[in-house]
Amino acid sequence: MKNKLFELHAELCKALADPTRLEILNLLSKGEKNVSELAALMKIRQATLSQHLAVLRQRKVVVTRRQGTTVSYRIANPKMIKACNLIREVLLEQLENGGRIVKGTVK
Protein backbone atom coordinates (compact mmCIF):
# COMPACT_ATOMS: atom_id res chain seq x y z
CA MET A 1 0.00 0.00 0.00
CA LYS A 2 2.77 2.47 0.95
CA ASN A 3 4.67 1.84 -2.29
CA LYS A 4 1.47 2.29 -4.34
CA LEU A 5 0.87 5.64 -2.68
CA PHE A 6 4.42 6.77 -3.52
CA GLU A 7 3.91 5.63 -7.11
CA LEU A 8 0.67 7.60 -7.38
CA HIS A 9 2.35 10.64 -5.83
CA ALA A 10 5.18 10.44 -8.37
CA GLU A 11 2.71 10.13 -11.26
CA LEU A 12 0.81 13.18 -10.05
CA CYS A 13 4.04 15.15 -9.74
CA LYS A 14 4.96 14.17 -13.32
CA ALA A 15 1.61 15.51 -14.51
CA LEU A 16 2.28 18.81 -12.74
CA ALA A 17 5.93 19.05 -13.86
CA ASP A 18 5.13 21.25 -16.84
CA PRO A 19 4.77 25.05 -16.82
CA THR A 20 1.85 24.97 -19.26
CA ARG A 21 -0.11 22.58 -17.07
CA LEU A 22 0.62 24.69 -13.99
CA GLU A 23 -0.67 27.74 -15.87
CA ILE A 24 -3.84 25.81 -16.75
CA LEU A 25 -4.36 25.02 -13.07
CA ASN A 26 -3.78 28.64 -12.14
CA LEU A 27 -6.43 29.78 -14.62
CA LEU A 28 -8.88 27.10 -13.50
CA SER A 29 -8.35 28.07 -9.87
CA LYS A 30 -10.39 31.18 -10.73
CA GLY A 31 -13.29 29.06 -12.01
CA GLU A 32 -14.46 26.71 -14.71
CA LYS A 33 -13.38 27.53 -18.28
CA ASN A 34 -13.97 25.96 -21.65
CA VAL A 35 -11.21 24.98 -24.06
CA SER A 36 -11.65 28.09 -26.24
CA GLU A 37 -11.39 30.40 -23.23
CA LEU A 38 -8.26 28.67 -21.96
CA ALA A 39 -6.60 28.69 -25.40
CA ALA A 40 -7.30 32.41 -25.81
CA LEU A 41 -6.05 33.30 -22.32
CA MET A 42 -2.89 31.24 -22.76
CA LYS A 43 -2.34 32.18 -26.41
CA ILE A 44 -1.75 28.57 -27.45
CA ARG A 45 -3.36 26.32 -30.05
CA GLN A 46 -6.34 24.28 -28.94
CA ALA A 47 -4.59 21.08 -30.08
CA THR A 48 -1.64 21.80 -27.77
CA LEU A 49 -3.97 22.71 -24.93
CA SER A 50 -5.98 19.52 -25.42
CA GLN A 51 -2.85 17.40 -25.02
CA HIS A 52 -2.05 19.06 -21.70
CA LEU A 53 -5.65 18.78 -20.52
CA ALA A 54 -5.63 15.07 -21.36
CA VAL A 55 -2.66 14.54 -19.02
CA LEU A 56 -4.43 16.43 -16.23
CA ARG A 57 -7.64 14.46 -16.85
CA GLN A 58 -5.80 11.12 -16.74
CA ARG A 59 -4.36 12.00 -13.33
CA LYS A 60 -7.82 13.19 -12.19
CA VAL A 61 -6.54 16.72 -11.55
CA VAL A 62 -9.32 18.22 -13.68
CA VAL A 63 -12.82 17.09 -14.59
CA THR A 64 -14.96 17.97 -17.56
CA ARG A 65 -18.50 19.09 -18.18
CA ARG A 66 -19.93 18.88 -21.67
CA GLN A 67 -22.66 21.23 -22.86
CA GLY A 68 -23.46 20.58 -26.50
CA THR A 69 -20.15 20.78 -28.35
CA THR A 70 -18.47 22.83 -25.62
CA VAL A 71 -16.25 21.07 -23.09
CA SER A 72 -15.50 22.95 -19.87
CA TYR A 73 -12.87 22.09 -17.28
CA ARG A 74 -12.60 22.65 -13.57
CA ILE A 75 -10.29 21.54 -10.79
CA ALA A 76 -11.34 18.13 -9.48
CA ASN A 77 -10.24 18.78 -5.90
CA PRO A 78 -9.67 22.28 -4.45
CA LYS A 79 -6.84 20.89 -2.30
CA MET A 80 -4.78 20.67 -5.50
CA ILE A 81 -4.79 24.46 -5.73
CA LYS A 82 -3.82 24.72 -2.06
CA ALA A 83 -0.87 22.39 -2.71
CA CYS A 84 0.30 24.38 -5.75
CA ASN A 85 -0.06 27.66 -3.86
CA LEU A 86 1.97 26.28 -0.96
CA ILE A 87 4.80 25.27 -3.30
CA ARG A 88 4.67 28.70 -4.96
CA GLU A 89 4.90 30.38 -1.52
CA VAL A 90 8.00 28.33 -0.67
CA LEU A 91 9.63 29.33 -3.97
CA LEU A 92 8.81 33.01 -3.41
CA GLU A 93 10.29 32.85 0.09
CA GLN A 94 13.46 31.34 -1.31
CA LEU A 95 13.71 34.13 -3.85
CA GLU A 96 13.07 36.80 -1.21
CA ASN A 97 15.75 35.31 1.03
CA GLY A 98 18.41 35.82 -1.59
CA GLY A 99 18.20 32.36 -3.08
CA ARG A 100 18.40 32.02 -6.82
CA ILE A 101 16.22 29.51 -8.55
CA VAL A 102 17.98 28.17 -11.60
CA LYS A 103 16.47 25.57 -13.90
CA GLY A 104 17.36 22.21 -12.42
CA THR A 105 18.78 23.55 -9.15
CA VAL A 106 18.02 25.83 -6.25
CA LYS A 107 20.91 27.89 -4.98
Write down the domain spans for the chain: 2-76
Confidence class for position 105, pLDDT limits 50, 70, 90: low
Reply yes or no on whether the pLDDT at 102 is more than 60: no
What average pLDDT does the structure give for the chain? 92
Gap between the Cα atoms of 88 and 95, Å rounded: 11
**Average pLDDT of 66-85?**
95
**Average pLDDT of 35-59?**
97
**Average pLDDT of 13-20?**
96
Query: How far are the Cα atoms of 6, 17, 82, 86, 107 from residue 11, in angstroms, in the given order?
Result: 9, 10, 18, 19, 26
Query: How far are the Cα atoms of 11, 29, 75 from residue 53, in angstroms, in the given order?
Result: 15, 14, 11
Q: β-strand 105-106 against 101-102: which pairing, if any? A: antiparallel
Asked if 101 contacts 94 with a C-beta cutoff of 8 angstroms, the reply is yes
Pick the CATH number of 2-76 from 3.50.50.60, 1.10.10.10, 2.20.28.10, 2.60.40.420: 1.10.10.10
